[in-house]
Structure 1
Amino acid sequence: MAENSAGENNDVLDLDALLSPDELQLRGSVRAFVQERIKPNIAQWFEDAHFPLELVPELGKLGVLGMHLKGYGCSGRSAVEYGIAAMELEAGDSGIRTFVSVQGSLAMTAIHTWGSEEQKNTYLPSMARGETIGCFALTEPTAGSDPSSMATRAVREGDTWVLNGAKRWIGLASVAQLAIVWAMTDDGVRGFVVPTDTPGFLATPISGKLSMRASIQCDITLDNVRVPETARLPFAKGLRGPFACLNEARYGIIWGSMGAARDAYQDALAYAQKRMQFDKPLAAYQLSQEKLVNMMLEIQKGTLLAIHLGRMKDAGKLTPAQISFGKLNNCREAIAVCREARTLLGGNGITLDYSPLRHANNLESVRTYEGTDEVHTLILGKEITGEAAFR
């Protein structure tokens, strides 16, 4: 956490001391990008329900698309560095961080982990540059938390696969050039790289959203979509394929949610220091200070947790249950921080002049996708009791 406008230090635990010079330099670069390109525009983008496609190649130049992957034009940065980038991007808006996550943690990771050399060389370099956008089609209208019940089917006919079904809440699908589509086959769940201009593929943006308005989520219909055998991800079999990608995205959320919380807190703190009521600033009242302290405590603890999990990931020791721990805790606390921050802004807090309620609304989506609170609670419940309680 940086110093606020009044000069007081918000990094009470001195968490910056846990970061290397390279990590701090990366944070500075991404933070400057957010300050210059996102913050001046995000209120209008959110109000207009507009995703700024012009940012995509800029994010490629910034080196944050698939930045945790090695080779094929990707940056090959550490897990902690990816987390730092996610935190700074989500301090701008969850929709922008979500794009980076869908592109890198989901679509690019699927190809990098489960794809053929030909698929990697064909798609990953242009995706890293932001010239090709990918989406990740797993969730269905009737299969959200339980992907094993997916109804989308892929049937092989010689050297061709025919896909039929529907997907829902698929980020960026209407502007993507390729989709990673997961479908049930006679041999279990398989993944396919499907160009979005393939006949029978239709992506329709979901309207009327109260959250993630500066982003795009879609319904997809697959009507006899035909792709060659070479479109199948050869090393993905079963739910292990999509779950590995989901864990990459969940890891980024651990960091990103704290970025949203930090930005909301800093907005509230700056406001409380300037807003005069009963002849003194709001920040001089005990109740205001209690709110600010409680927010600061959760942000510092959540950021410390993110750093710890990031170091474990870089050491190859991070488990899915530990990722669930971070996602459940940090999303839950980030929403509470943003809502509390709004209270310090009074009526002004319900406008787009300030970030807390926008962040809180966005975090309702972040809290839901890549596993709801309930799913992560049950994952952790199984971890500590040894008993699976999903059914």
Structure 2
Amino acid sequence: MILWLVLFVAGALALMMMRAGAWTWLVAELAWIWIGGMTDQANAVACVLLAILLGVPTLLVAIKSVRETLITRPALDIFRKILPSMSATERDAIEAGTVWWDAELFSGKPDWDKLMRLPPPALTAEEQSFLDNEVTQLCAMVSDWDTSVVWQDLQPEAWQFVKDKGFLGMIIPKQYGGKQFSAYMHSQVIMKLSSRCSVAAISVMVPNSLGPAELLLHYGTEEQKNHYLPRLARGEEIPCFALTSPYAGSDAAAIPDIGVVCKGMHEGREVIGFRVTWAKRYITLAPVATVLGLAFRAHDPDHLLSDNAEPGITCALIPTSHPGVVTGRRHWPLNAVFQNGPTSGENVFIPVDWVIGGQAQVGKGWRMLMECLAAGRAISLPSSSVGFSKMAVRGTSAYTAMRRQFKIAIGKFEGIQEALARMGGNLYMMDATRRLSSLAVDAGEKPSVISAISKYHVTERGRMLVNDGMDVIGGKGICMGPGNFLARVYQQIPIAITVEGANILTRCLIIFGQGAIRCHPYVLKEMAAAADEDHDRALQDFDKAFFGHLSFVAANMARSLVAGLSGGLLASAPNAAAEETRVYYRAVARMSACFSLLTDVSMFVLGGSLKFRERISGRLGDVLSQLYLISATLKRYEDDGRQSADLPYVAWSVQDALHRAQEAIIDVLENFPNPFIAFALRIWMFPLGLSFRKPSDRLASEVALAMQTPGAARDRLVVDAYQPDFSTDPLGSGEHAFNLLPQVHEIEARLKQSVKDGVLPAIPQSLIEMRRWNARAMEQGLISVDERVVLDDFAHYGNLTVQVDDFDAGFDMKDALQKGQAPEIITG
């Protein structure tokens, strides 16, 4: 009897995972009953009862006409009643962009081979040359200290260099005079600039992200492209795009900026256009822009354009020199002091030809913006966050390896190692996510959900990373000056958190709210069928989607249980995966099935109210996000050639993300409105208990040690970040001294016996005193001239790194800023 029942359970799970059709189920059920009868596991009466209980419902589902009448039609009526209302802007946001690897993670059975087949991101020879030369030159011209304290902007020669060298036209095709760089190259440029100066990165980033050039490329008329794109590429025009209003930051439907269709005079003739009134805030480059991209809500009360309904949100390009356009005033964004400010206008007449795309695109602006933002969000802020994080990791890890306390380097203390491990693990995963998201854009995708995941989680991990760095370097981090590599970044972190969709909004509404509909293989089809006014077609389409959905849920129920009972061993992993990472692929596949199951149950239980249960949807989004971050990390490990020295970074970041995903699932279940369903789901998904633990202390120490060891592994962690000149820059000095450490340790190890014998005093903790110790060792004949140079260089440049900037007591910072003077600084 037990074997017969086990056969039933095993067969049912197998059919669920195979997503077998109703007729296959019917045959399997009858075969199982027949086996029971033939082996005396069930008598004739029992066999008949089982055939009725199992076979009749299955038969009803198998016969399409019966199924549609008894099941599909009532289900469609219920679905139409519980389907949440959706505004036009919400629909545009959901339908904008494309789905990619996020859909695989939603499937419960990700196709790993699809990910593995993607080529590693790479630069062309032209792109590499630009990165090595022009981008490096710009980095050398600027710094966070100079832009924030001395200039409150890029200095004039840096602005001119940006224009002359084509930084503002990186995404513009060569036929218009642009660079036509890839998305990955765009990301590389922004990352490298951000590792040096946030103002430079932002000033370059915005024209190449969500701005007039991007919109013109996709939607502009040929006349608009031919006029503006060459001028933008040459830097003759500086663009900005004005979307945000003080009263409608994230709610586009509430944009108060109005353009009324009317007739007016333009260039001596009467034309149809708009009389536009707007008041925008937080517009990057607005104070210096020469061309203003403007989003407003169009009204056509006299039906001059169309007899249809009101046209809606519209995007136009307006020269800032046009009468009535007000720009020039500035906001002061947290000492990043990039050009950012308000713009306004009252009853400004513009011709309809200034609408991006012309009259045909009137009212289609919101969809245009959402599709462009889907790509831009994947590049700009993730790249800038990775850039400043690489700078923070480089500076902090070097500092901890050189700074001595209690006669040992502070990087050997476990408390410091705990923070360093978080920094290193987070950076490895952040950079992997940036690379994979850029690859998606270069593959032709406009990955709306993935871009939201990248923006939110890379900026949040960047915030954690910089906070850890500030904790480690302590007092040096809180004293402003050119030698402080973290203070300005620490101040500016909220900018990345806020712009291009504030992170709270992104997490609670976009990642899961959009992903649950777009990435799910059936929900959007069910919604489309429910909205179809052709009843016969709607019934057929809904029948196919609804029963496909039920099969999908059943498959993920089976996968999550089987994977849970096997500890993940029976979950899928790619054949080409490295043996050392295969366990992580299986873990992601298992969690993908659990996530998909939990998503479907949540949508079923909460229905339309899930839209407003932001804490639950936010946590579900967290699960999807962590699975994407892990996928990116595993892909990076493969792309980098399976470098064994990088395994501590891989293991720490993946284990941390798996634990976060598991905790998010538990948080959903503990706050689920139906505790009985929540309890059943927890037992079903984690039958052997919670599986994923935080990274161990031993692993954290391995990561911290790798970060404090000069060599290829650490170089890969901070690859392509700007390395300043060690003779003129404190951060460069620290890196130079850090690279001398292996030689210094070797010399000191050899001299320990001389210290024990009293020939030399103890190795000093202070790098200032180290030079005298070096001289003593030289006098005793214990080191060579070359070794003395190494030790002296280490003492000198290491001391520059450790020192804290200070100023003359009579220095008046406010007065100097007004005069544009830099302070005289003593760096030790």
Q: Output the TM-score relative to the length of structure 2.
A: 0.43
Superimposed CA distance per residue, residues 113-149 of structure 1 (whole angstroms, 9 cap, x where no aligned partner): 2222121111111211222101100001111111221
Cα distance, 1:110 vs structure 2: 1.9
Q: Does the 8 Å CA contact 1:211/1:365 hold for their aligned counterparts?
A: no
Is 2:481 the counterpart of 1:376?
no
8 Å CA contact 1:267, 1:354 repeated in 2: no
Q: Give, in angstroms, the shift of residue 55 of structure 1.
A: 2.4
**Aligned counterparts, 1:156-171, within 5 A:** 156-158=261-263, 159=271, 160-171=273-284
Q: Is 1:226 matched with 2:349?
A: yes
Aligned-pair distance for 1:225? 1.6
Q: 1:183 aligns with which of 288, 296, 299?
A: 296
Asked if the contact 1:164/1:224 (under 8 Å) is kept, the reply is yes
Match 1:95 to one of 174, 177, 199? 199
- Going from structure 1 to structure 2, the CA distance change for 1:284 and 1:34 (only over 3 Å counts) comes to farther
Q: Of residues 20, 32, 38 in structure 1, which corresponds to 2:136?
A: 32
Q: Aligned partners of 2:391 and 2:435: how far apart in 1?
A: 18
Match of 1:68 among 144, 158, 171: 171
1:203 alignment partner, one of 308, 323, 327: 327
Q: Distance in 1 between matches of 2:344 and 2:504?
A: 28
| Structure with greater helix share of residues | 2
Number of the residue aligned with 1:238: 365
How many Å apart are 1:337 and its aligned residue? 0.8
Distance 1:57 1:301 in 2: 35
2:245 is the counterpart of 1:140: yes
Q: Is the 8 A contact 1:200 1:225 kept in 2?
A: yes
The structural deviation recorded for 1:204 is 4.3
- Give the partner amino acid of 1:168: R
CA spacing shift, 1:306–1:100, aligned 2, 3 Å:
same
Corresponding position of 2:219: 114
1:268 aligns with 2:403: no
CA distance in 2, matches of 1:231, 1:318: 26
Say which SS state the counterpart of residue 350 (structure 2) adopts.
strand
Partners of 2:328 and 2:165 in 1: how far apart?
29
Deviation at 1:85, TM superposition (A): 1.1
Deviation at 1:197, TM superposition (A): 1.4
Structure 1 stretch displaced more, 329-338 or 119-128: 119-128
2:375 maps to which of 238, 242, 248 = 248
> Per-residue displacement from partner, 1:23-63 (whole Å, max 9, x unpaired)?
65554336523441123xx3021124334343234224444
Match of 1:323 among 451, 465, 486: 451
User: Would the alpha carbon gap of residues 91 and 125 (structure 1) be closer, same or farther in structure 2, given more than 3 Å must change?
Assistant: same
Aligned residues: 372
Structure 1 residue 356 and structure 2 residue 356: aligned?
no
Q: Which amino acid aligns with 2:489?
A: H
CA contact (8 A) 1:174 1:205 kept: yes
Say if 1:239 and 1:44 are closer, same or farther in 2 by CA, change over 3 A: same
Higher mean C-alpha displacement, 157-166 vs 55-64: 55-64
Tell me: CA distance 1:282–1:18, structure 2 relative to 1, closer, same or farther (3 Å).
Answer: farther
For the residue of structure 1 that corresponds to 2:438, the secondary structure is helix
CA change 1:27–1:292 in 2 (3 A) is: farther
Counterpart in the other structure of 1:6: none
Per the alignment, do residues 240 and 210 of structure 1 end up closer, same or farther by CA in structure 2, a change over 3 Å counting?
same
Residues 222-247 of structure 1: CA distance to partner in whole angstroms, max 9, x if unpaired?
11222222211125413112223323
Say if 2:149 is the partner of 1:44: no
Q: CA deviation at 1:19?
A: 4.7
Any conservation in 1 of the 2:213–2:232 contact (CA below 8 Å)?
A: yes
Contact between 2:250 and 2:501, CA under 8 Å: does it hold in 1?
A: yes
SS at match of 1:44: helix
Q: State TM-score, norm by structure 1.
A: 0.88
Task: Tell me the secondary structure at the aligned position of residue 145 of structure 2.
Answer: helix
Asked whether 1:123 is paired with 2:246, we answer no
Q: Is the 8 A contact 1:339 1:356 kept in 2?
A: no
Instruction: Give the stretch that moved more between structures: 328-337 or 312-321.
Output: 312-321
Does the 8 A contact of 2:123 with 2:184 survive in 1?
Answer: no
2:161 to 46, 58, 74: 58
CA offset at residue 342 of structure 1?
Answer: 1.4
Secondary structure of 1:145's match?
Answer: coil
Instruction: Tell me: CA distance 1:209–1:320, structure 2 relative to 1, closer, same or farther (3 Å).
Output: closer
Asked if the contact 1:34/1:88 (under 8 Å) is kept, the reply is no
Give, in angstroms, the shift of residue 78 of structure 1: 1.2
Structure that is richer in strand per residue: 1
Cα distance change on mapping 1:140 and 1:53 into 2, 3 Å: farther
Q: CA 1:338/1:83 → structure 2, altered by over 3 Å: closer, same or farther?
A: same
**Contact persistence 2:139–2:193 (CA under 8 A):** no
Deviation for aligned residue 1:164: 0.4
Of structures 1 and 2, the one scoring higher in RCO (CA 8 A, sep 6+) is: 1
Distance 1:107 1:389 in 2: 34
In 2, distance between residues paired with 1:76 and 1:183? Answer: 30
| Residues 154 and 185, structure 1, Cα contact 8 Å, conserved in 2 | yes
Structure 1 runs not aligned, ≥5 long: 1-16
Q: Work out whether residues 372 and 446 of structure 2, in 8 Å CA contact, stay in contact via their aligned partners in 1.
A: no
SS at match of 1:161: strand
Q: What do you get for the CA RMSD once the two structures are aligned? A: 2.3
Shift of 1:295: 0.6
Taking a change above 3 Å as real, the CA distance of residues 228 and 390 of structure 1, as seen in their structure-2 partners, is farther
Cα displacement string for residues 138-165 of structure 1 (whole angstroms, at most 9, x for unaligned residues): 0011111112211111122222321102
Maintained 8 Å contact 2:388/2:489:
yes
Match of 2:149, as an amino acid?
E
Tell me which residue corresponds to 1:85.
189
* Partner amino acid, structure 1, of 2:502: T
CA distance in 1, matches of 2:249, 2:278: 14
1:221 counterpart letter in structure 2: S
Aligned partners of 1:50 and 1:79: how far apart in 2?
26
Deviation at 1:368, TM superposition (A): 0.6
